[in-house]
Amino acid sequence: MIWDIKLSPQVSSLDYLSASVSGSTVTVQGEEYDLSLLEDGDILPPDAINNEFFPEPISRVGNTISLTLLMPIRRGAAESARFPAPVVMEADGVVPVPNGESVDEQN
């Protein structure tokens, strides 16, 4: 399974984003979401998951699942957190997420 993950930064007091993928399952903030029933061409609307960390539909095309994850950041976060690059995961593991703390908090 290939995961195409877009990170959507939003200034928030929510905890940092913690996410990982394993097979056709994505784990966000410790909660697992089994997407194995998504077939080629399927689109799952965000309200079907009912989790604020999934602000946009999840889709599957071929062997690729595409999704967007809300990424809480603080005011004054580094540019890498404000404009994160998309993440493509071809193996199971932790989704690399930029540090969303403000630059002042990091010092």
pLDDT higher than threshold 70 for residue 91: yes
pLDDT the model gives residue 16: 85
Whether 65 has a pLDDT exceeding 70, the answer reads yes
Tell whether pTM > 0.75: yes
Three-state SS for 36-90 is: CCCCCCCEECHHHHCCCCCCCCEEEECCEEEEEEEEEECCCECHHHHCCCCEEEC
